Amino acid sequence: MKNIACILAACLAAGCYEDKGHYDYVEINEVTIGGLPSQTTITLVDTARFFPELTFANPADTAGFTFLWRENSHDISTELNLAYVPTYINNNITLELYVKDRHGIAYRATTSVRVDSPYKYGFALLAEKEGKTAFHFLGRSNETGRYTPYLDMFAADPLGAGPLALATSTVNSLDEIIIFQQSGSLSLNGQNLERAVLLSDEFSGGAYPAGVNIISGYYNMGVDALLGDDGNLYVRVNPVSGVLHATYFMNMPHYFARPGTRVGRIIPTHPYTFSLWTHDEGNNRLLAITSETYPGNNNIATMGAELTINEGAAPAGFTSVNNMGADRLVYAADHRALNTQNITNLRNILKKTDGSYEVQSFTVSRSGLNLTMSAWIQQPFAGNGLVTDNTPYALRSDGKYIFFAVGGKLYSVEFRVINGIEQQFLQEVHDFGTDITLLTRADNSIDPDVGGEALGVALATGKFCIIMVTDPVLLDPTNAWQNGKVFESAANLGRIVSVLWKYGGSNSRFTNDSW
């Protein structure tokens, strides 16, 4: 045996062993997949389009490749470029692209799609038709900026009667629309616009405070405030992050130290102001209470407290907001610069005792429970001689333009600083031919691809129109309607009572200012 082993070893060493196997050596053309975003957000009615960019190790040999797209592990397409039409709402849908060569070697890339409700962004319209509350929604497409009308959504099962106002409640990506009406207020789920909660159930015992009807409100995530027809605020502090309806509203009026306080209206401001503003018509003053952008931030002890407004060295002729005297507040709204907190910028329209109107603006910075005013400006309003006590207004979210309507005519006033002095420029934007009853801004800057900010215009005939109010549109007033028109309803929507811009969650929240 030992000799045989030696002979075998010698043969191998001398080349006696011959390997007669056959091998094919394949040159792999490696592929790199690029051009896919990490995440895309669209609404359910939109189409997401993906154009992958393939880079080949050997660009001269690109034949024989096949493609496969999968949605959460289900095959959906064999084309390289994908037009993805979602079929359901989901915060995270994974799309996978497989690129396979003729040898069966596959390369993989993924992208994530968030599919929002078709009701996430748009105008909510509260109207009265045939003695009942009517609700309409104009959903804005993220892809095109166009509006899809969803009309008379509760025609078969009316919400109630005596419509009064709209408000919105948001936490993170959750939101609701609150409908205030004489017959009993309620909220709608912001995702599917189905009934969610009766407002009376938001009070302990399932009933409003005795003898009080709630007529409007403003939800600011940290402090929510309801306005009763008795002129009192009823508030709740939400200490739970990311949850709606975590606590009850107080059954007793919110306490204010100044005697005779009677809130006539809430002035909605951006939540980053950390303040909730109202007009105390009992004392003819502006009244602000603390609020916070995010619940659960350990400021519960001060949330809801009244803020002290220090007006500083206001110039002569500037109407004190702590005591407006004989001046009457006609309109107020805020505007804001991006990425600012604890700052409130207000523009007010005041009616003077001689019947003229002035426009007032200022900035307020918050520190603790104190507000310090600066940048005081007050001057005759360019709309003098046109505006009346019934004039509707809206302020563009950057404060550069204020819009108002007289009869069927829509006007804009541009505020422009020239040589350090703010000046006003009045323009007629469009004549709608019938009385304009409400104006409401829509801050489309949350999605700049759809063309900027829009303005909702409600008409006495029950029609509703939307016009873009970007600088290029407004600087060409002769053609503003032709250039800026986005939507015009064909049907009579009823007597439009309130209009709300729905922004779909606190992540994209801005101010609604429809009065």
Q: What is the pLDDT of residues 431-489, one digit of tens each?
A: 999 999 999 988 654 444 456 789 999 999 999 999 999 999 999 999 999 999 999 99
Q: What is the pTM of this model?
A: 0.83
Length of the chain: 515
Q: What is the pLDDT of residues 314-373, one digit of tens each?
A: 999 999 999 999 999 999 999 876 557 889 999 999 999 999 999 999 999 998 889 999
Q: What is the pLDDT, as a whole number, of residue 222?
A: 77
Q: What is the DSSP letter of 249?
A: B
- Output the DSSP codes for 242-269: T-SS-SPBPSSPPP-SSTT--EEEEE--
Least Cα distance to 122 among 93, 148, 87, 144 occurs for 148
Q: Which helix (H) or strand (E) holds 52?
A: none
d(CA 16, CA 508): 80
First to last CA, the chain: 108
Widest CA span of the chain, in angstroms?
129
Pairing of strands 31-34, 464-468: unpaired
Q: Is 477 helix (H, G, I), strand (E, B) or coil?
A: helix
Q: What is the DSSP letter of 479?
A: G
Q: Are 361 and 350 in contact (CB under 8 A)?
A: no
Q: Which helix (H) or strand (E) holds 10?
A: helix 2-13
Q: What is the pLDDT, as a whole number, of residue 450?
A: 54
Q: What is the pLDDT of residues 110-138, one digit of tens each?
A: 999 989 889 988 999 999 999 999 999 99
**Helix (H), strand (E) counts: the chain:** 3, 36
Give the burial class of 513: count Cβ atoms within 10 A of its Cβ; 0-12 exposed, 13-18 middle, 19 or more buried: buried
d(CA 446, CA 181): 30
The pLDDT profile of the chain, 515 residues, written as one tens digit per residue, is 444 444 434 443 444 444 455 445 557 889 999 999 999 988 888 899 999 999 999 998 888 899 999 998 899 999 999 999 999 888 899 999 999 998 899 999 999 998 988 998 899 999 999 999 999 999 988 777 889 999 999 999 999 999 999 999 887 778 899 999 999 999 999 999 999 999 999 999 999 999 999 999 998 867 899 999 999 999 998 767 678 888 899 999 999 999 999 999 999 888 778 889 999 999 999 999 988 654 445 555 566 889 999 999 999 999 999 999 999 999 999 987 655 788 999 999 999 999 999 999 999 999 888 999 999 999 999 999 999 988 999 999 889 999 999 999 999 999 999 999 999 999 999 999 999 999 998 865 444 445 678 999 999 999 999 999 999 999 999 999 999 999 999 889 999 999 999 887 665 554 444 33
CA distances, 78 to each of 62, 65, 374 (Å): 17, 11, 62
Q: What is the pLDDT, as a whole number, of residue 299?
A: 56
Q: What is the pLDDT, as a whole number, of residue 237?
A: 84
